[in-house]
Amino acid sequence: MLNRKRLNNNSSNNNLNSTSTNKNGITSIPKTVLKSSGTMTKKGLVRIGNALKKIPIHKPPQIVRWDFLGVGMSYLWGMINRRALPRLLRKPIYKAWIYTFKCNTEEIPDPLDSYPSLAEFFARPIKPEARPIHEGGSVSPVDGRVLAVGEITSDSVEQVKGVTYNINHFLGCDPKSLMRNPEENKLYQCILYLSPGDYHRIHSSEDWTIDTRCHFPGTLFPVNKPFLKMIPSLFALNERIVLKGEWDQGFYSLTAVGAYNVGSISLNFDQVAQTNKITRDFTCKNLEYFSWNGVGSHSYDHIYDTPIPQSKGQEVGQFHLGSTVVLIFEAKEFEFTIKPGDYCKMGTLIGKSI
């Protein structure tokens, strides 16, 4: 397997050395304004205020302070999760979790005290017969609630009702450039949110092949509805792994989006991918203080020598708690059998080509 790394550089650095307006109409704050002095004059404060007013706040910034908080706390939570618990404490702790998040205990294949850590319990398998795979059509890759579903008709795509994210930033490129037949076929999406009590393993929703893994470093905002409604392009800001490939209709992708306290994502066929790391690559433009041009669109891409085949229902990877999975794919015509707000179990029908 070939690991070929590259950093997609789709934006230019903001010029902070002098007062200027870049091609996006964004005014930089001059260094002279930001210099500290013994006393800040009223004139200086007015100049700072005027400069800040020209920043278009409708574009979500990558704030390093949040990155330290989100990633730092998620890393700490991951360390706690992985610590082995005394056997006597396992059952009461896991029972409290089951009670709080209403887990289905009938699907748990092993005794509770057989899971050595919270991480092992969160990412536990289920009994094989608990998730039959629907034969015809595409199936849900996870247990989760539908946030958005339907045809993609523009660059701005709904993440929840009334709030959008940029699909070009999310995938790191224009998806039309990946389509087999952009003239006749259409693009579709399905977003599924996993709650803490859900089954946390990710499966293939179709027979397809994976040829590229893209790791997008980012921050880790929560992905619950209040934050999705508050922060535009949240999915393009958060750390994520995008798996790109093809199915019989053309382009196909499955994306695992990390979230606050849920940054750890692992793949069954690729142990190289490392997410939720406390040591951040601050040369990546996704983590700049203001990454205005192409927010979240920079990735490290790993192209496989041979495409990796995946069959419908096959396990792809797992979240080490829960988060969001986004399917974006090409089809001539596709009819969804689900709608926003529906709850799907892995293996149940979500739609089919027509």
Residue-wise pLDDT for 150-160, tens only, equals 999 998 888 86
Give the mean pLDDT of 292-317: 84
CA dihedral for 83, 84, 89, 93, sign (positive or negative): positive
**For position 292, what pLDDT does the model report?**
47
| Position 247 confidence tier, pLDDT thresholds 50, 70, 90 | very high
320 part of the active site: no
E runs forming strands in the chain: 138-139, 144-152, 156-160, 163-166, 186-193, 201-203, 208-216, 240-247, 250-257, 265-267, 300-310, 315-319, 324-331, 334-336, 343-344, 349-353
Give the mean pLDDT of 190-210: 93
Residues above pLDDT 90, as percent of the chain: 41
203 part of the active site: yes
pLDDT at 3 over 50: no
Q: Which of 43-52, 67-76, 276-285 has the lowest mean pLDDT?
A: 276-285
From the list 220, 257, 214, 168, the residue with the least C-alpha distance to 64 is: 220
**For position 74, what pLDDT does the model report?**
61
- Determine the distance from the C-alpha atom of residue 320 to the mean position of all C-alpha atoms in its chain, rounded to a whole number: 13
Give the predicted TM-score (pTM) of the model: 0.75
DSSP letter (8 states) at residue 313? T
Give the mean pLDDT of 185-211: 94
Helix or strand or coil: residue 82?
helix
**For position 282, what pLDDT does the model report?**
52
Listing from the earlier edge strand, what are the strands of the sheet with 240-247?
A: 300-310, 208-216, 240-247, 250-257, 324-331, 186-193, 144-152, 343-344
Choosing from 28, 253, 264, 323, which is the catalytic residue?
Answer: 323
* Cβ atoms of residues 282 and 291 within 8 Å: no
Tens digit of pLDDT for each residue in 97-147? Answer: 899 988 999 999 999 999 999 888 888 899 989 999 999 899 999 999 999
Tens digit of pLDDT for each residue in 54-106? Answer: 544 443 444 443 455 555 666 676 677 778 999 999 999 999 989 998 899 99
323 part of the active site: yes
Q: How far apart are CA 263 and CA 257, in angstroms?
A: 8
pLDDT at 286 over 70: no
From the list 156, 323, 158, the residue with the least C-alpha distance to 240 is: 323
Q: Report which of residues 299 and 199 the model is more confident about.
A: 199
- Determine the distance from the C-alpha atom of residue 178 to the mean position of all C-alpha atoms in its chain, rounded to a whole number: 20
Q: Report which of residues 221 and 3 the model is more confident about.
A: 221
| Position 287 confidence tier, pLDDT thresholds 50, 70, 90 | low
Choosing from 200, 203, 215, 298, which is the catalytic residue?
Answer: 203
Give the mean pLDDT of 274-296: 53
The encoded tokens of residue 79 equal 């360390």
Q: How far apart are CA 313 and CA 307, in angstroms?
A: 18
The Cβ of residue 310 has, within 10 Å, a number of other Cβ atoms equal to 24
Choosing from 143, 266, 297, 302, which is the catalytic residue?
Answer: 143
